[in-house]
Homo-oligomer: A and B are copies of this chain.
């Protein structure tokens, strides 16, 4: 048997519920492929704030750094919304990404035939959408310096941030994106605002340079405002998208909403080496927390990404993906993806049905 150690970060709101379900699925899929896991659960986000006073305790970060992979639930909630920046759950997440050096955020947006009606887009526009946003995650305006508050030359108060990218930051995310596009449909669209921003001109220049290493991938460029339109107009035109941290934040959320089923969408955050971070793209949904209503499928599919991208265990990953499809085909739906004629189930029951299909 192969052994892996996994750090679980349930976090806040519905986080604990979906993590507990996903853990059982991960365990079973692993054991059927001769894989054993040791799990270590650590506090993070608002839960960590309440317990330790900081959103990412040192013990949590070092446990995560030592693990083979990390599965995160969700963080945040009204309770901590008014906190100062360094005491916000979100800050813990940014610190975790930085601490793990996971610079590549992979966010697939797929419209499953079973769920095409959940999209607010017309059926013929939504069906068949299958794209991947590769978002730079540890650079750009999220981390750029100088940043802060101050006064300008007129003595007026200002708030400011720096959007900055260096060669190696663009090169490495571009390579990951080209590799992914190569394994998909061979099309990479790099999104920037090179008609206005120097940071984007430099981004475009480096992505274009790296393209020569991938002659089999077709590279195109698109301005971010146009990309925001094209995702609504004709999302099927996209295969793989690569973009900076802030544009990726916006476009990947737009793309996921286009599928109409954000309760279904996983994500992976990967570094050069070291453990990857896997999490559903949905939030902590405090309004339904603790009511067994959450859709665990995004976290279960994040566990599949963990197996595939984090551990290289493609077979076990496939088991989970197939089990999710099979469970949908058998008509089980949580509230967020329910439609007439199907069987409405809660978080736990959905997990049990997936287990049956693994």
Contact = CB atoms under 8 A, between A and B. Distances in A.
A344 B257 CA distance: 34
Interface in A77-96: 85, 88, 90, 94
A159 interface: yes
Nearest to A225: B253
B164 A159 contact: yes
Interface string A137-151: 000011010011100
Integer count of this chain's copies in the complex: 2
Taking chain A's interface residues, is the majority helix, strand, or loop, or is none over half, making it mixed? helix
Interface string A104-126: 00000000000000001110010
A249 B157 CA distance: 25
B198 A161 contact: yes
Nearest to A158: B166
Interface residues of A, number: 61
Contacts of A162: 160-163
Interface in A155-183: 156-168
B232 A258 contact: yes
Interface stretch (A199-207, A267-275, A309-317): A199-207
Interface stretch (A16-24, A57-65, A189-197, A318-326): A189-197
A32 to B, nearest CB: 36
Contact of A199 (B90, B159, B226, B230): B159
Contact of A196 (B94, B157, B193): B94
Given A159-B200, A250-B250, 8 more contacts: A122-B122, A141-B197, A147-B198, A159-B164, A160-B198, A161-B163, A163-B163, A228-B257
